[in-house]
Amino acid sequence: MTTGGSQLANHILLVGFMGSGKSTVGCELARMTGRPLIDTDDVIERMAGKAIPEIFAGEGEEGFRERECECLLRIADEQPSIVSCGGGIVTTETCRELLGRLGFTVFLEVDAGEAVERIGASPERPLLKGVDEMRALLAQRLPWYREVADLRIDTSGREPAAIADEIIAALRERGVL
């Protein structure tokens, strides 16, 4: 997939591991900024007409990742929004490159133990396993989260509203809002 090279949009994008709070913090940010909230998992399910576990079962993880890239390209045309991204979106180079051109990316940091605690059992997340597997997956992805991040926020033990406040303050300081 070729994606060109210029800035495509002015979104605020949230990345981070499953359970890092992207959806809840995204809701808070949308409420506080008055911007629409876009959830890449929801967009993919709508476009596919299938739930995520079905996509993984039929097309494998690779098929799902291709759909994530298509989704990012599609939201380039949307008005400036808050975009909550699926936890594995950083695993493909095309998506990482697109994130850089879609706006300002905030990495919500969480440790694997707290992430698993927050999510609990979740049949809609095909890659969710035990804490040890999650720790290994997070370690593998950390360099990619850091690569795409314009801002890193520690979410450990914190409430979504406090995290959203900190993000808004940081975005104002940087002239993004």
Which residues here bind ligand S3P, judged by CB under 6 A?
A: 18, 22, 41, 52, 86-88, 125-127
Min. distance of Cβ 33 from ligand S3P in angstroms? Answer: 20
113 Cβ partners below 8 Å, 6+ apart?
A: 131, 135
Nearer Cβ to ligand S3P (8/25): 25
Name the helix (H) or strand (E) containing 104: strand 103-109
Min. distance of Cβ 109 from ligand S3P in angstroms? Answer: 14
Min. distance of Cβ 87 from ligand S3P in angstroms? Answer: 3
Nearer Cβ to ligand S3P (80/126): 126
Listed residue (9, 16, 33, 19) closest to 171, CA to CA: 33
Contact between residue 37 and residue 31 where contact means Cβ atoms under 8 Å apart: no
Nearer Cβ to ligand S3P (36/53): 53
Nearer Cβ to ligand S3P (8/52): 52
Min. distance of Cβ 113 from ligand S3P in angstroms? Answer: 16
